[in-house]
Amino acid sequence: MPAGSVLAKDSFIVGEHGAIAVGPLFLMSKGAAGSNAVRRDWTYTMIMPDGSVREDAGIQKFCNDCHRRAGAEDDNLMFLPLPYRVTTSN
Ligand code: HEC
């Protein structure tokens, strides 16, 4: 992804008795090339349902430890498994 790219993923929480609530908004922002080798230049952010923003070192490590496993070719991006993707070609 080019520097400046921002990816967003929303989420929801299913609570007791099936009650559904808004979950965190997950963001990945691509920085300048070479700005952070460990994270392949990504910064990870969580915007909580109350509006607070979490972007501390612990969050960076937590998110990156998993996303990094997607590898360099996929640039840390996981994507939805194929059967769940919406496409315009079928
Ligand atoms: C245990 C592994 C794991 C952790 C930890 C994790 N993610 Fe993900 N993330 C995934 C997977 C798998 C997907 C693709 C499936 C989906 O969208 O549900 C994904 C998708 C995403 C996407 C959409 C782009 C993409 O790669 O498909 C964003 C943005 C994202 N995550 C941000 C975050 C942020 C921010 C954090 C930390 C607060 C985080 N993730 C922590 C596994 C993880």
pTM value is 0.92
Nearest CA to ligand 1 atom 18: 80
Q: Which ligand 1 atom minimizes the distance to the CA of 54?
A: 38
> Ligand 1 atom 12: the closest Cα is on which residue?
78
Parse the chain into domains and list their residue ranges.
6-74
- Can you say whether residue 59 is alpha, beta or left, with left for phi > 0 and alpha for psi between -120 and 50 degrees? alpha
Distance CA 23, CA 13 (A): 5
| Residue 40 burial (C-beta neighbours within 10 Å; 0-12, 13-18, 19+) | buried
To test the pocket of ligand 1, the residue of 1, 28, 82 to mutate (highest count of ligand atoms within 8 Å of its CB) is: 28
Query: Is 49 strand, coil or helix?
Result: coil
Q: What is the pLDDT of residues 54-81, one digit of tens each?
A: 999 999 999 999 999 999 999 999 988 8
**26-49 pLDDT, tens per residue?**
999 999 999 999 999 999 999 999
